[in-house]
Amino acid sequence: MKALLLTNEYPPQVYGGAGVHVEYLAGELARFMAVEVRCFGGQTSSEGDLTVRGFRVDESAFGCPPALRAVFAATQCDNAMAAAGTDADLVHVHTWYTHLGGILTKLNYGLPLVLTVHSLEPLRPWKREQLGGGYDFSVWVEKTAIEMADAVIAVSESTKADLLRLFRLDPARVHVIHNGIDLEEYVERRDDEVLRRHGIDPARPYILFVGRITRQKGIIHLVRALRHLDPGFQVVLCAGTPDTPEIAAEMKSAVQAAQQERPGVVWIEEMLPKSEIIALYSGAEVFVCPSIYEPFGIINLEAMACGTPVVASAVGGIPEVVVPGETGLLVPVEQSKEAPFGPVSPDSFAYNLAEAINELMRDEVRRSHMAREARRRVEESFSWKAIARKTAELYRTVCGGAS
Q: Alpha carbon 310 to chain centroid distance?
A: 16
Question: Residue 401 above 90 pLDDT?
Answer: no
Indicate the fold that domain 192-381 takes in CATH.
Rossmann fold (3.40.50)
Give residue 402's pLDDT. Answer: 58
pTM: 0.83
Mean pLDDT of 219-241: 94
**Bridge partner residues of 37 (DSSP):** 5, 52
Predicted confidence band at 339 (pLDDT cuts at 50, 70, 90)?
low
Q: Is the pLDDT of residue 129 over 90?
A: no
Q: Do domains 2-180+383-398 and 192-381 have the same CATH topology?
A: yes
- pLDDT, tens digit, 9 for 90 and up, residues 12-65: 988 888 999 999 999 999 999 999 999 999 899 999 999 999 999 999 999 999
Which one is the CATH code of 2-180+383-398: 3.40.605.10, 3.40.50.920, 3.30.200.20, 3.40.50.2000?
Answer: 3.40.50.2000
Task: Check residue 199 and give left, alpha or beta (phi > 0: left; psi -120 to 50: alpha).
Answer: left
pLDDT in tens, 299-331: 999 999 999 999 999 998 999 999 999 999 999
Cα gap 296→318, rounded to integer Å: 6
pLDDT of 215 reads 86
> DSSP of 284-310, one letter per residue?
-SEEEE--S--SS-HHHHHHHHTT--E
How sure is the predictor about 344, in pLDDT bands with cuts at 50, 70 and 90? low
Cis peptide before 12 (omega within 30 of 0): yes
The average pLDDT across 241-257 equals 90
Domain boundary assignment for the chain = 2-180+383-398, 192-381
